[in-house]
Amino acid sequence: MNANKKPLELQADIERMELELTKWNARRSLTPTERQVEAIELGGCVLLRDRTDPHSMYYNRIKGFGAGDVPRLQEILARYPDSEAAPCFDMTPDRMGPEASRALADAGFLPAEQLAFLAAEPSEAAEEGGAVTASPFDIRLVTERAAETFIRWIEASSPGQSIADATIERTKGYFRQPHFRNYMIEIDGRPAAMASLFLHGAEAYLANDYTFDAYRGRGCQTALIRRRLADAARLGAKAVYTDVVFGTPSHANMEKAGFRTAFVNTFWCKGL
């Protein structure tokens, strides 16, 4: 990551990029009905709200809440009118102080999940992680012809999920955009692993890493990380970010590839 950036500057950059990724994810979401996600600025917060799905934690988040927004807490919550659903407060370390935490706890919210956000400079990460080394796998970039197959892989990654043909037809174009590149590894004719690279300006984000159970532990994700870092560098990205559950094998894989942990956020949720 850029050594000249202060921790809070880097955090702000990642938060901004993650917001852009969230907006894009809403557009290409594989739900039967197109999501209607809006971003509302209120005080020091950005309120993400999905009018089509008030129960989605990911698309109904409040980013930036801190001590200065405590007096607005009820006004913020009033923007989410569904009585059976509550938003999730996406809290960064600099804002999760005693006053904000106490206000959320008094309103019935509790810390439920955490994510580690990581950063790297593509050229440095490529050198450290060996991104220029030939992959032992045949990594395919999703094209127009492969887009439907890729979506069927996504369907297979979540048992019980069923994606209608009409939804695939409506969304498949999103998965082969110049700024949203998707990758597939097939082994012995079967789906093995997949991942995405999101580009915005001079920044990139690694997302949607998934390896099917039968192929875990064989280096698929390491190969996909290195390929995306190399592509990000080739496409002009000056910084690349990602998020993982802290302490997981994915976290270790990212750090091995040259990423460094920038911060860990906490999701405060209600009704736990």
Residue pLDDT, tens place only, 242-268 = 999 999 999 999 999 999 999 999 999
* Residues 6+ positions from 4 with CB-CB distance below 8 Å: none
Residue type, 247: G
Q: For residues 114, 70, 262 and 109, what is the CA-based torsion angle, rounded to 10 degrees?
A: 0
Residue that is written with structure tokens 């209607």 in the block: 36
Half-sphere exposure of 264 (CA within 13 A, CB side): 9
Residue 255 CA to residue 206 CA, distance in Å, equals 13
Q: What is the DSSP letter of 109?
A: E
Q: Are strands 109-120 and 139-141 parallel, antiparallel or unpaired?
A: unpaired
The pLDDT value recorded for residue 59 is 97
Give dist(CA 90, CA 99) in Å, integer.
16
Domain at 123-237: CATH architecture = 3-Layer(aba) Sandwich (3.40)
Confidence bin at 120 (pLDDT 50/70/90): very high
If you average pLDDT over every residue of the chain, what do you get? 93
Answer whether residue 1 shows pLDDT above 80: no
Tell me the one-letter amino acid at 133.
Answer: T
pLDDT per residue as tens digits for the range 12-37? 999 999 999 999 999 999 999 999 99
Categorize the per-residue pLDDT at 10 as very low, low, confident or very high, splitting at 50, 70 and 90.
very high
State the pLDDT at residue 272. Answer: 65
What integer pLDDT is reported at residue 5 of this predicted model? 87
| 152 and 33 Cβ atoms separated by less than 8 Å | no
| Start-end of CATH 3.40.630.30 domains in the chain | 123-237
Question: 143-153 pLDDT, tens per residue?
Answer: 999 999 999 99
What is the pLDDT averaged over residues 166-176?
97
How many Å apart are CA 223 and CA 243, to the nearest integer? 17
Query: Residues 184, 197: contact at Cβ < 8 Å?
Result: no
- What confidence tens digit (pLDDT) does each residue in 177-191 have? 999 999 999 999 999
| Residues 38-83 pLDDT 10s | 999 999 999 999 999 999 999 999 999 999 999 999 999 999 988 7
* 134, pLDDT greater than 70: no
In this prediction, residue 177 carries a pLDDT of 97
pLDDT over 80 (residue 271): no
29 SS3 class: coil
- HSE-CB for 112 with a 13 A CA cutoff: 16
